[in-house]
Amino acid sequence: MKVELLAAPKRGASAREYVYETLKKSIVLLSLKPGQSITEQEVAEKLSVSRTPVREAFIRLAQEGLLETYPQRGTVVSLIDLDRVDEARFMRRTLEKAILRLACDSFPQELAFELRANLALQEVCLEERNFLRLFELDEEFHRLIYRGCKKERIWDLIAQMNADFRRIRVLKLSLGIGVGEVVKQHREIAGAIFDRDVARVEELVETHLRQNDPDFERLRKEYPEYFK
């Protein structure tokens, strides 16, 4: 299978960071499919870099469970592990309730504006069925909430551990599963923050993160080659 990469923004990043971010983005957004073989040489040629930053990125991604190396097959993109998905979702649910309680107590006005702008763009993506961009806005929506609570580094930590959960969500969105409900729930979460309604926001985040449950088996049946 041909290697197709979704380049990450360089923004002054080192070659090592650029290669790592590009590969991770390509894996999470399923441009590099679970089980797909990938070589250092291919990536180096695609990104016009030496093999050293590629090798370093491969090591980091292997440590995060996104790449695996086998004696006969070489390096492949890891399959989606539903045990890791469940673990990541547990962490998200536990931490996000605490973050949203903080957001209800105090949320900066300038980020409230950004949250509303983000929601407006989500509506546009929903109308245009641009589901990959919707996923990126979904991620940014939650990051903005963490930033508003001065907990953005916690979001970055979560992002390191929930790659399989993110791949599940990308797969769902790419099939158009539940996209309208996702945007509706984001509107409701933002509204609860603005209304400082702690009880409501905790109820909403529980629903928001559990809505994937009925779809796991459906996705496994449709894409059995993607899952462990």
pLDDT band at 53 (very low <50, low <70, confident <90, very high): very high
In percent, the amount of the chain with pLDDT more than 70 equals 94
pLDDT band at 211 (very low <50, low <70, confident <90, very high): low
**pLDDT at position 222, please?**
84
CA–CA distances in Å: residue 66 to residues 36, 96, 211: 11, 24, 24
pLDDT at residue 49 above 60? yes
**pLDDT at position 93, please?**
84
Instruction: Compute φ and ψ for 80, nearest 5 degrees.
Output: -75, 130
pLDDT band at 158 (very low <50, low <70, confident <90, very high): confident
Q: 94-149 pLDDT, tens per residue?
A: 898 899 999 999 899 999 999 999 999 999 999 998 988 898 999 999 999 999 99
**pLDDT at position 44, please?**
92
Q: Classify 129 in phi/psi space as left (phi over 0), alpha (psi -120 to 50) or beta.
A: left
Mean pLDDT of 181-195: 92
Nearest to 89 by CA among 228, 196, 216: 216
Average pLDDT of every residue of the chain: 88
In whole angstroms, give the CA distance from residue 25 to residue 20: 9
In whole angstroms, give the CA distance from residue 40 to residue 145: 37
Instruction: Compute φ and ψ for 67, nearest 5 degrees.
Output: -125, 150
Q: For residues 193 and 8, which has the higher predicted lDDT (pLDDT)?
A: 193
pLDDT at residue 45 above 60? yes
pLDDT at residue 214 above 70? no
In percent, the amount of the chain with pLDDT more than 90 equals 50
pLDDT band at 212 (very low <50, low <70, confident <90, very high): low
